[in-house]
Each structure stands twice: as structure tokens, then as C-alpha cells.
Amino acid sequence: MSHKTRIRSALWMIPVAVLAILYLPTPYMGALMALLLLAGLYEWACLSHVHNKVHKLLYLLFNALIIALIAWLDDAGHTALKLVTLTGGIFWLLSALWLWRFDFAREIHPRNNTIKLLAGCLACIPAWTAMVWLHGSPQGPAWTLTAIGLIAAADSGAYLFGVNFGKHKLAPNISPGKSWEGFWGGLACTVLIALLSMFYFTEDGHAWAAFALLGLLTGIFSVLGDLFESLMKRHAQIKDSSSLIPGHGGLLDRLDSIVSGLVVFALVKFWLAL
């Protein structure tokens, strides 16, 4: 796909996403996010070597029922949302071990396929709870948009610095195109955007360290999510999760860094009481 095709797709996706985050009430935003994540999980099932349509639909139904159960159990203090989001944070910490042992569960086997399907649940469902928790908080739409902005900054910064300065491979066995120079450049962009956002949310000049940490951890874990999906594609021996979005690949290729970045952004934001 050409860069023009990629840009054309971005020109409609970005405004739609921004308008939805800013103007949809949280229940509607939650429903939209659930639909997007379920579509991403359909692609995840393919990465997990599940190709039977009935089995894929059963997998989606299973995840949809879990999301509905969480929504039903949630209370005024958002206990269910917080617990599931925390579970997602633990999963993303442990996923670093999987990246290190990148051949784990690589062989096509029912046990390995089940492990990958479970990983899809642990990646996507906490992303939903994180978004709903975040979007429903005071100034929630602005915080949600900031989270997406930081994740986009990490991705765009990594690309720009990687193309211009990349010499040392970050994870050659998983994603050969990524470099350490791109990684550090992306983190620098993320921290910068986080510091600039501070002036919107607070007048406390001493909050810079908290916002810098928020940007740093969000950036790191967004890369982790990107690499994890790349690992799944490497195991499945495919380039894109699908061809749904012209110039971008599949929906999961757009959500990979968001599902991890949103979880960590929400956890760090509320931990730091921002």
C-alpha cells in the first residue's frame, strides 16, 4: 500500500475517533469501544489459528458476555472496572517475558492456540474497562483523548526517529523494522506531549514529574503492545492481521498499542491522583 492510501485512511479515522471521544456519552463510547475490540478479537482468533467461523463467533460471544457481565457488576466506585484494568496491567508486565521467550507457544497446537486466545481476552477486555473508567471520570473525554494522543506520539515518534536515525534493532526476531533509536525518540515525544498536556489539566507547576512519568510508562507499554501483536503475527506467519483498513492492515494493527497503552495510562493516572 502507498503512503497516500495510508494517509487517506488516517484522514477519516482520526476525526471520527476524536469526535467520538469528545462528544459521545460514556455508555455509548463504551459500546463503540466494545464493538471495535470484538472486531479486533475476531482477527486475534485468526492469529491464534482459529479459522472456523463458528468457533470464532463463539470466541466473540464469550468475550462479549464477559464485557456485559463486568458492566452489570460494576458499582458506583467502579470496583469491577478497576480490578479488571489492574489484571490487564499485570498481564502486560508478564507479556514482556513472552517477548523474551518469543518461541513460547509458537507451534500450532490446541494448547498453544488456547493460550493465545486467553491472551487476546487479557489484552482487550482490560482495555475496555480502562477506557470506560477513564472516560467516565472528571474531565474524562479530555483524559481519554490525551491517552490516545500519547500512544500516537510514541508510534509516530518511533517511526520518524527510526527512519532517520535507526541503526540498532530493538527486537529483530519479532519486528525487524523497529530500532532502539526509534524507541527512545518515541518516548521523548510521548513525554513531551504529556508535559504539554499538564497545562490543560492543572495549574500546579510541580506536577511535571507525575505527567512525565505518565507519558513515559504509557509510551513504554504502548510499544510492548505493538511488539506483542507483532509476535502473534510472526507466529502466524502473516504481515497484517487483516486487510480491513486500506494502508494500515487490520483493525488489530491499529489497536495493538492502544490496548496496552490505555490500561497503563488509566492505572498510572489514578495511582498518581492526577
Q: How many CB atoms lie under 10 A from the CB of residue 223?
A: 27
**pLDDT for res 248:** 53
Residue 135's closest CA among 37, 271, 36, 269?
269
Record the cell numbers describing residue 51, joined without a space. Answer: 479459522
Rg (CA), the chain: 18
Q: Which domain range does residue 85 map to?
A: 3-271
The DSSP code for 53 is H
**pLDDT for res 1:** 44
Beta strands of the chain (E only): which ranges? 169-171, 175-179
**pLDDT for res 8:** 64
The DSSP code for 242 is -
Helix (H, G, I), strand (E, B) or coil at 137: coil
Global pTM reads 0.92
- Distance CA(35)–CA(170), nearest Å, equals 33
Per-residue pLDDT of the chain (274 residues; tens, 9 = 90+): 445 655 665 566 788 888 999 999 999 999 999 999 999 999 999 999 998 999 999 999 999 999 999 999 988 889 999 999 999 999 999 999 999 998 898 898 999 999 999 999 999 999 999 999 999 999 999 999 999 999 999 998 998 998 889 888 998 888 888 999 999 999 999 999 999 999 999 888 789 999 999 999 999 999 999 999 999 989 988 876 655 555 456 788 888 899 999 999 999 999 998 8
Check if the beta carbon of residue 154 is closer than 8 Å to that of residue 257. Answer: yes
| Distances, alpha carbon 67 to alpha carbons 26, 187, 222, in Å | 15, 32, 22
| Distances, alpha carbon 211 to alpha carbons 17, 50, 200, in Å | 23, 41, 12
**pLDDT for res 197:** 94
Length of the chain measured in residues:
274
DSSP labels, 104-165: TT-S--HHHHHHHHHHHHHHHHHHHHHHHHHHTSTTHHHHHHHHHHHHHHHHHHHHHHHHHH
**Residue at grid coordinates 463486568:** 70
Number of domains in the chain: 1
- Distance CA(225)–CA(174), nearest Å, equals 12
**pLDDT for res 203:** 83
**pLDDT for res 134:** 96
Distance of CA 104 to the CA centre of its chain: 22
**pLDDT for res 85:** 97
**pLDDT for res 2:** 47
| Distances, alpha carbon 237 to alpha carbons 8, 47, 138, 156, 222, in Å | 28, 9, 44, 25, 22
**pLDDT for res 12:** 65
| Distances, alpha carbon 38 to alpha carbons 155, 166, 187, 200, 206, in Å | 23, 35, 29, 33, 40
